[in-house]
A and B are shown apart, each in its own frame.
Chain A
Amino acid sequence: MDTVLKARNLTKYYQMGEVKVEALKGVDFDIYAAEFIVMLGPSGSGKSTMLNIIGGMDTPSSGEIYFKGKPLHGASEKVLTEYRRNAVGFVFQFYNLMPNLTAYENVMLSVEIAQNPLKAEDVLEQVGLGDRAGHFPAQLSGGEQQRVAIARAVAKNPELLLCDEPTGALDSATGIQVLKVLKDFNERYKKTVIVITHNASIAQMANRVFYLKDGRLEHIDNVANPVPPKEVSW
């Protein structure tokens, strides 16, 4: 299997005023093409920091991380921008949709800059929002907004789809719908999906589960038989 991401001894420190916060304390992992990874851990375990570094939003304080062999550690903002532009799709916990663009326009926002995008209409159809395309975020429910956010990330057709607590703000029925969209993308387009959450039950649908605690990767579970999203118990 092709290695998409390779990390060695990743660390991240934040200087918060006079306090030095160690968010990552030396993490190693490899992630392969078309995997569905769930990163589990309580608040403050370093999940978000890890996702930010993987997504090229932030750089590690030390250690190495490679995307398809190209180093992301020490890369310039310009290189990271191109990496995010061409290889990464983000789904945020609080959606972060542009409030004054419609659902369709929000998706177009990423289609316009992608090299090999999917059709915005198709993606919206896949997330079940074909008929809501003309609505502004304020006219959509939380689940619908999250599905627009996923559509926006997926439409770029990225190598990596990174999701930060995608179901965190949703009820279980809506959450399962959202997970289904993520799994769909993973299977249909054979792209890597990484989901971070503190909801352990989501782990059942992953190929592998990363357990984070206190800035360290405690262990990795291989899931023999991932369950389909609709069977995930909440």
Chain B
Amino acid sequence: MLTRKMWRDIGENKMAFIACAVVVIIGLTAYTSMQMAKDNLFRAGDSFYRQYHFGDGFAKIKNPMPSSQVEKLSDIRGIDQVQGRLVEDVRVTGLDERRNIYLRLISLQDQKPYILNGVKVLKGAMPEENSKALLLGDKFFTAHRLALGEPLTVIIDGKKVQLKIAGTGQSPDFVYAIRNAQNILPDPQAFDVAYLPYEVMDGLFNRQGAVNDLSFALKPGFKFEDVEQPLKTELKKYGLESLVSRADQASNVMLTEELKGLEKSARSVPVLFLAIAAIILYIMLKRMVESQRGQIGTLKAYGYRNHEIIWHYLSYGLIVGLAGGILGGVSGAVLSNSMTKLYQQYFSLPGLTGKFPLQYFFSGILFALGFSLIASYQGAKAILKLKPVDAMRPPAPSFKSKTRLEKLPVVWAAFTVQGRMAVRNMIRNKERSFFTLIGIVFTYSMMAALWSMYSMVDTMVLDQFYKVQKSDVKISFTKPLPLPDVVEELQNTGGVRRIEPLVEVPVTLQKDYRKKDVTALGLLPDAELFTPVDKLGSQIKIPAGGILLSEQTARKLKTGLGDRIRLESIWARESPVYVQVAGIVPQYIGSNVYMDQKALLALLGQGDMATGALISMDPGQIPGLKERYGTSKYVDNLEERQQSIDLYKKLMDNNKTTLLLMVLMAVVAGFAIVYNSSIITLAERERELASLRVLGMRPKEVMEVVSVEQWFIGAFGVLAGVPFALAMNQGIAGGMSSDLYTLPGRTSPAALFLALLGTVLAIWVAQFWVFRKIARLDLVGVLKERE
């Protein structure tokens, strides 16, 4: 019978229970979806890495290394095997002339004991030996709607070369295919990898049996650090550009960062929501136990045992936990499927499919049940202490003394009688007021943080492209070119307004034992097209001497203003050299360091030269520029600002939906909390409120008793929520930042205002429901109860 009572109780308080269950569902959806997606991603990556022998280390060299020399590197203690290959970026023409499309050509390797970074054929077949055919990245193939057997035209050393598409394939070292660190997102329309036979590639690039890219596997028991130094020594003469372990390999970094991020969120987000659900349940149960004192007394008088009564009240939590857990698990599974689909867009992992590991479904339910039962127990445990005789009596009124506010006659006089009732009620129910406050603080700060996050991504991208990287086109050369020639040549191109030569060199910075590989940008002292900005958005002057570090580089090296740091570069005549830190600047995308162009060249011992150029020009003339230089053998890359902006805008649109959804969740949580605490007030004071109605007050006037309290707490909650929002934002920004990008932890006033609107909405909606209840109060019934 108590079960029936429970269902009917729940039926009478549908809104409150639904609101609470929704919060649980949200938390569980987050938990299940993220855990499942993480699991899918992890398993796909792990098995692909193992089956296709993802290398333990990777080296890039500038000068060709004869294949015969590669074998010798296996003599280094700890190295199991080394494989060399050719890796070259080429432009593709004939697909979409509006865009710059690149392919990274990678030579296929011989079967030794096993092939490192082996290529899994997804469509078609491996190109036959000596045939001018390639295996194309599957995403590129799909994005351009290509067909097997079709020719693809690429530009090699300024000449058009046709290659036949033999199939599509994927190797584990490019599961996240981005061209360089400046691109956060893979864009299969514009870049992907392709594999072709070594002999063919050797012929096309005229490498004469040499390689420029090495990967190796370690013997069991050895670490990357064990072979790092000997390899460096060996490869120095070949112009070692970079030597990284698997952990720092670009594509793998993206995968592991994503997994880490998922893991972090999967642990924190659900807990946050379950904690809110727990607060709601706690308040709800406390209120039920208070308002059902008489019923509890009767049950006790009839000899119901404490545990039977407690269990009855716990069953409310059980229902919420179970319903929330199951529904959340199901919707989480559904969401995990779309998350996995999203990951499929970014990661080229052949085994990445939307599976539903049941363990997360069940652990989620247990998780939800645990939270709900503990919260309900805390709310209901007062039953244990209640003696049946006392339970049958209404609780003794607790009006002991005046509140402090009442001692300020001026303030107090400003309240209507209903307002006074509200204030007294709020102050005398400190615990409940406190929980309502927490709820509002949560609702508010969550919304503020979410809106801010949106503007953070906005800032990150827009700052980069409107304040920092202002060139319309950036050209990178295949090799350094003499400075005056470059300027002269480009100046004569139609529509060009301004040219700034650029020196862009990969360097390794080191302070004590901490190291970081970054790109050093040599900028003109009067640069206008690339200008680092400080946190307030004003330009930072490039000092004549010394180096400007990005925040994340400085953090990684644990270095500060005035420190001397070690710099190594393949471009330096002498290496290492030392340079002083002249400043630290925020940077959102990539982690560059900046120097005065002349100073950088001097430091490297190089004459006047440029590795690229920044161009400001009439956008209408860009196709002309591309026409002219796109196929030049000196041009490696043509980057259009608008293309990059479009790509980020697309990403932001994706975020908008997620964001809106999360804001909605925060509103629901806020609603549930405010509604519940209003309902409690209503239940406790039903008689008083009914009496006021009998006195002739309108429902609206009676409503004030409840609403003034909520608005009061709401105002405090918003005020207290501001610092929370700021802290939450810093936390989110810190948590989401990685080597590739940094999120600014800024909270915008607009976000604070929008969050205020959201909070007001949550309170208002909750009060609307309470108002309906007041309007429907059964006056006679309420007043007749208990003479």
Contacts and interface: CB of A to CB of B under 8 A. Distances in A.
A108 B5 CA distance: 12
Interface stretch (B58-66, B386-394, B703-711): B386-394
A138 B8 contact: no
B389 A85 contact: no
B488 interface: no
B612 to A, nearest CB: 77
Contact of A100 (B5, B297, B306): B5
A221 interface: no
A38 to B, nearest CB: 21
B301 interface: yes
Interface in A116-147: 138
A101 B786 contact: no
Given A100-B9, A109-B1, A82 B303 contact: yes
A134 to B, nearest CB: 13
Interface stretch (A87-95, A178-186, A195-203, A225-233): A87-95
Interface string B303-324: 1111010000000000000000
Nearest to B299: A109
Nearest to B778: A138
A169 B5 CA distance: 26
Interface string A30-62: 000000000000000000000010010110000
A105 B1 contact: yes
Given A58-B387, A81-B300, A84-B300, A98 B295 contact: yes
A187 B251 CA distance: 90
Contacts of B389: 52, 57-58
Contact of A96 (B4, B298, B303): B298
Contacts of B388: 57-58, 84
Given A57-B389, A92-B298, A96-B294, A86 B303 contact: yes
A108 B392 CA distance: 21
A81 B305 contact: yes
Contacts of B304: 81, 85, 113
Contact of B302 (A52, A82, A85, A99): A85
A200 to B, nearest CB: 21
Contacts of B300: 57, 81, 84
A216 interface: no
Contacts of A84: 300-303, 388
A105 B4 contact: yes
Max count, chain A CB within 10 A of own CB: residue among B2, B298, B301, B787: B301
A110 interface: yes
A169 B308 CA distance: 31
Contacts of B297: 96
A101 B303 contact: no
B392 A96 contact: yes
B12 A138 contact: no
A131 B298 CA distance: 25
Interface string B751-787: 0000000000000000000000000000001000011
A156 interface: yes
A234 to B, nearest CB: 20
Interface string B382-416: 00000111001000000000000000000000000
Interface string B283-300: 000000000001101111
A89 B302 CA distance: 7
Interface residues of A, number: 33
A156 B388 CA distance: 19
B304 to A, nearest CB: 6
Nearest to A109: B1
A78, A83, A94, A108 interface centre (most CB from chain B within 10 Å): A94
A110 B8 CA distance: 18
B786 A94 contact: yes
Nearest to B781: A138
A218 interface: no
A96 B295 contact: yes
A98 B298 contact: yes
A171 interface: no
Contacts of B306: 77, 81
Given A57-B389, A58-B387, A92-B392, A113 B4 contact: no
B782 to A, nearest CB: 12
Contacts of B299: 109
Contact of B1 (A77, A82, A94, A101): A101
Contact of A112 (B1, B387, B781): B1
B112 to A, nearest CB: 77
Interface in B355-399: 387-389, 392
Contacts of B295: 96, 98-99
Interface string B1-31: 1101100110010000000000000000000
A78 B5 CA distance: 24
A85 B12 contact: no
Contacts of A108: 1
A102 B392 CA distance: 21
Contact of A98 (B5, B305, B781, B786): B5
A113 B300 CA distance: 12
Contacts of A105: 1, 4-5
Contacts of A138: 781
A101 B11 CA distance: 13
A81 B297 CA distance: 12
Contacts of A88: 301, 303
Which of A52, A89, A100, A101 has the most chain B CB atoms closer than 10 A to its own CB?
A: A100
A105 B297 CA distance: 18
Nearest to A51: B389
Given A52-B389, A81-B305, A96-B294, A101 B781 contact: no
A105 B1 CA distance: 6
B301 A90 contact: yes
A110 B302 contact: yes
**Which of B299, B300, B303 is packed against the most chain A CB atoms within 10 Å?**
B303
Nearest to B294: A96
Nearest to B785: A94
A1 to B, nearest CB: 26
Interface string A7-32: 00000000000000000000000000
Nearest to A111: B1
B319 to A, nearest CB: 15
Given A58-B389, A92-B298, A100 B303 contact: no
Contact of B8 (A83, A94, A101): A101
Contacts of B302: 84-85, 89-90, 109-110, 113, 152, 156
Contacts of A156: 302
Given A92-B392, A96-B294, A96-B392, A81 B303 contact: yes
Contacts of A112: 1
A52 B388 CA distance: 9
Contacts of B301: 55, 57, 84, 88, 90, 92
A113 B303 contact: yes
B387 to A, nearest CB: 7
Contacts of A81: 300, 303-306
Contacts of B781: 138
A112 B298 CA distance: 15
A70 to B, nearest CB: 15
A114 B648 CA distance: 71
Contacts of B9: 100
Given A58-B389, A101-B1, A105-B5, 7 more contacts: A57-B387, A85-B303, A96-B295, A101-B8, A109-B299, A110-B302, A113-B304
21 contacts: A55-B301, A57-B387, A77-B387, A78-B305, A81-B306, A82-B303, A82-B305, A84-B388, A85-B302, A92-B301, A96-B294, A96-B295, A96-B298, A98-B295, A100-B5, A100-B8, A100-B9, A100-B12, A105-B1, A109-B299, A113-B308
Interface of A: 52, 55, 57-58, 77-78, 81-86, 88-90, 92, 94, 96, 98-101, 105-106, 108-110, 112-113, 138, 152, 156, 169
Kindly list the 10 A-B residue pairs having the minimum CB-CB distance in the complex, ordered from nearest: A85-B303, A84-B303, A100-B8, A96-B298, A57-B388, A109-B1, A58-B389, A90-B301, A108-B1, A57-B389
